[in-house]
């Protein structure tokens, strides 16, 4: 159990209670089981990227709300040791910046274990997505097209196109991933809705 896992769970419970939702009501809205949500809230399990987005969509909030630890500000500085993170099913999600006033970008560092990803179910969401490969090899599907990402290669695409990825190298792959939701005050809310559900859901 990590401090980040506990923080995400505490944020989830506070946000759920602010909206007057029971565990069962939230489970019905997001598609996760009551037990899975309860484990996340107690800090006993770390949610997948897709589960965080399912919860964010159900609550009508940007995914960054789960990681916030400071008031909105004009400048955000984050040291590597202070990154808030979530890890599940071979994918580690680390926030690279949250808390900016009227923030519209969601920047993350993604580390993917060999063979991990979400090829079984493509996802869609509003806005645009930028992906930059720092290391490793990642198979990225966008619509009907397949792209092989290696260190230094990048993708920029309309995120309404179905997309999914998988690390195919012998070593873990790392990506910089940035979600942009345009003029919407709510950032990406529907990413990975059906990909990688928590075990037990």
Domain 3-66 and domain 80-180, same fold? Reply is no
Residues 176/182/186/189 CA torsion (nearest 10 deg): -50
| Model pLDDT, residue 198 | 36
Nearest to 178 by CA among 122, 116, 119, 94: 94
From the candidate CATH numbers 3.40.190.10, 1.10.260.40, 2.60.40.10, 3.30.70.1350, the one assigned to the domain spanning 3-66: 1.10.260.40
- pLDDT band at 186; cut points 50, 70, 90: very low
The CATH topology of domain 80-180 is Jelly Rolls (2.60.120)
Q: What is the pLDDT of residue 1?
A: 53
What digits encode the pLDDT tens for the residues 71-119? 557 787 888 887 878 887 898 888 898 777 677 788 999 999 999 988 8
The domain limits of the chain are 3-66, 80-180
Per-residue pLDDT of 107-152, as tens digits, reads 999 999 999 988 877 888 778 899 999 999 999 999 999 999 999 9
């Amino acid at each position: 159990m990590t401090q980040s896992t506990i923080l995400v769970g505490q944020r989830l419970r506070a946000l759920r209670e602010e909206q007057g939702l029971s565990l069962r009501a939230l489970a019905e809205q997001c598609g996760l089981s009551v037990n899975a949500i309860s484990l996340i809230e107690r800090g006993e399990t770390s949610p997948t990227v897709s589960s965080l987005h399912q919860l964010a969509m159900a609550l009508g909030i940007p995914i960054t709300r789960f990681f916030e630890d400071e008031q909105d500000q004009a400048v955000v500085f984050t040291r590597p040791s202070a990154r808030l993170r979530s890890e599940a099913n071979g994918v580690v999600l680390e926030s690279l910046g949250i808390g900016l006033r009227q923030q519209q970008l969601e920047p993350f560092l993604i580390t993917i274990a060999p063979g991990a990803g979400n090829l079984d179910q493509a996802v869609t969401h509003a806005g645009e997505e930028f992906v930059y490969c720092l290391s490793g090899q990642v198979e990225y599907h966008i619509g009907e097209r397949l792209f092989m990402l290696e260190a230094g290669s990048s993708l920029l695409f309309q995120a309404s196109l179905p997309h999914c990825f998988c690390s195919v190298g012998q070593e873990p792959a790392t990506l910089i991933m940035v979600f942009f939701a345009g003029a919407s005050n709510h950032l990406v809310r529907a990413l990975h809705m059906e990909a990688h559900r928590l075990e037990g859901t």
